[in-house]
Amino acid sequence: MGHSLGGMVARLIAIKLLNDEIIKSNINVIMFDSWTIGTENMNLERIKEYIESQFKTIPDSEHFVNASIFLSKLLKEHNNNFDSRVGIFSFKASELSDTPLRRAILPILTKDLVRSFIDNGWAEFAKEVTTTLTPGDHDSLLKAENLSKISSRLHEAISHSLIKFNEF
């Protein structure tokens, strides 16, 4: 499970666990507003500005900013591949706000363009993608009041994504 870049990282971890045969059956990953479209065009300076604004109240924030920038560079250079073993439950933000992060990744995004990418680009890389439109924008969809509105869908996604302990 992951939000934004974290959703992409969660998918890569799932693939690694499958490739190393640590998990022996198909797995689902839950993503909150994770995109695969336009990552190769990311503006790392704008992403750094966004991350610094998000982490400014965290002690030792420089460490977290540097780690996030490192992951962003990896993401920019990474090419996703189709993997039928990993399904995706995508919880997509219903609102598009003018944030530094949006301008850093896909500055040409409009509400109509966002709606046209129903699955945030993941259908090209997964056999099964289930998308749930979630109240809020990229930054606010994880707030309790927004998650409460999709709690039954989230519970369903979690129950379909659990790994049985005897699979290890």
- Dump pLDDT digits (tens) for 75-115: 888 888 999 999 999 999 988 877 666 666 666 667 777 77
Q: Which of 29-43, 92-106, 146-160 has the highest mean pLDDT?
A: 146-160
134 burial class (0-12, 13-18, 19+ CB within 10 angstroms)?
A: buried
Q: Check: CB of residue 33 under 8 Å from CB of residue 93.
A: yes
Contacts of 45 by beta carbon, 8 Å cutoff, 6+ apart: 104
* H or E segment and range at residue 66: helix 61-77
Instruction: Residue 160: count other Cβ atoms within 10 Å of its Cβ.
Output: 13
Rounded Cα gap, residues 95 and 160, in angstroms: 26
Decide which of 118 and 18 is more confident.
18
> Which pTM value belongs to this model?
0.82
> Left if phi > 0, otherwise alpha if psi is -120 to 50, otherwise beta: which for 164?
beta
Q: Report DSSP letters for 23-47, one per residue.
A: S-S-EEEEEES---SSGGG--HHHH
Rounded Cα gap, residues 81 and 79, in angstroms: 6
Contacts 24+ apart (CB under 8 A), 22-25: 22/168, 23/163, 23/167, 23/168, 24/167, 25/167
Of 18-27, 56-65, 102-111, minimum mean pLDDT range: 102-111
